[in-house]
Amino acid sequence: MARRPNPRQSFNQADARALLAAFARLDRRAQLVLVLVIGVVAAVAAASYFWSTRPRPGPQASGPSATWPQPAPKTGPASGPRGPTPPATGAADHLLLGNPSAATPDPANRNNYLLAKPYFALSYNDTNGTPNWVSWRLTAADLGSAPRRPQFVPDSELPAGFKRVTHQDYTGSGFDRGHLCPHGDRAVDVQTSFATFVMTNIIPQAASVNQKAWNNLEEYARDLVKKQNRRLYVVAGGAGRGGTGLNGFADTIGKGKVVVPALCWKVIVAVPETGGTDDPAAVGPDARVIAVVMPNDNSAVGDEWARFRVAPAEIERRTGYRLFDRLAPATADALRARVDDVPVPPPEPKQRWREKE
């Protein structure tokens, strides 16, 4: 039986000459178009080949270790074209000084539910629709000029069945959406900045609190980091029920969905920045501690925050929480009893914003 020619071997020199002659008979424009088409086809074929032969990543880990925030390797912040990149931090970093309410990640613990996020940790109160407290560490690597998120968002990490507070629940209420961990403390890049605009990081704050004294304290704390080379451990929250906003007194907003706190409190522990690892033992009894309690009242708070300084023990008394429970007992007792008395210049009046509804 005669052997059939292989089509792949049937293309010979005569065929090549015929194709070249046909190409030569084309006008110049047609020749250019044909060359471009052949080039595009070749480029697509090459890309497909390299894509099909690239190395494949291995399977992703599963289980708690894949979802729980992990501490970064303790080798210091990496540097890049945009400056220092903050290391990914875990719950241990943000809760270094303690867990004030002994919150747990058990969904049955609805009013003291622990959410450990990469950029802060918090205890959520489902009945109130607000955090009990938010805790975070602040270093120079966290600071920058990233933009604010245009709108606040519900927290998708809350367990099924928990209350989902939305941006609109505050609209028209007369209260600002008040950050506890502020955008400015996480402004190194867009991802970290936007992470602070989740509703589990927000409480209803009177405008004069949020935009004046509270904001000035936030800026003062960042100056400690930038100008005095300090590392800060911060915890903040609300307490009580009922505040006075632009529309007068209210104890809830959002059709009863969100409880308005009567007080806004904050504790800041400042230690020298050594570039080392986070260690509770590095916090001594002489560390500077700033604690404030402000009434959530639009007519009672101005620009000055220093006049609201108290001992941390006063915050414990008003909230029932236990601060500094991871510190050595003698150190914790010393910090609880101290009222900060470092002279603070009166803040300069600034142009305030009106929060977008």
Strand partners, 178: 203
87 in any annotated domain: no
171 in any annotated domain: yes
DSSP secondary structure code for residue 56 in this structure? P
- Residue 38 has a pLDDT of 75
- For residue 67, pLDDT beyond 60: no
pLDDT, greater one: 19 or 102: 102
- Residue 306 has a pLDDT of 98
Pairing of strands 202-205, 258-259: unpaired
Active-site positions? 179
57 in any annotated domain: no
Q: Mean pLDDT, to the nearest integer, of 308-329?
A: 97
Single-letter amino acid, residue 27? D
Confidence (pTM): 0.74
353 in any annotated domain: no
CATH number at residue 240: 3.40.570.10
51 in any annotated domain: no
Domain that holds residue 319: 92-337
| 198: helix, strand or coil | strand
- Residue 354 has a pLDDT of 56
Burial readout 172-200 (b: 16 or more C-beta within 10 A, e: otherwise): ebbbbbbbbbbbbbbbbeeebbbbbbbbb
267 in any annotated domain: yes
pLDDT digits (tens, 9 = 90+) for 79-96: 333 333 344 455 678 999
Q: Mean pLDDT, to the nearest integer, of 60-88?
A: 33
Scan for tokens 């929060």, then name that residue.
355
In whole angstroms, give the CA distance from residue 256 to residue 270.
Answer: 38
Q: How far is CA 175 from CA 202, 245, 250, 252, 341, in A?
A: 11, 5, 9, 10, 31
- For residue 151, pLDDT beyond 70: yes
Determine which of 57-66, 81-90, 121-130, 197-206 has the lowest per-residue pLDDT on average. Answer: 57-66
Q: What one-character-per-residue DSSP string does 75-135 give?
A: S--EEETTEEEPPP--HHHHTTT--TT--BS-TT-TTSEEEE-SS-EEEEETTTTEEEEEE
19 in any annotated domain: no
Q: Give how many domains the chain has, as a whole number.
A: 1
65 in any annotated domain: no
- Residue 357 has a pLDDT of 55
In whole angstroms, give the CA distance from residue 256 to residue 259.
Answer: 7
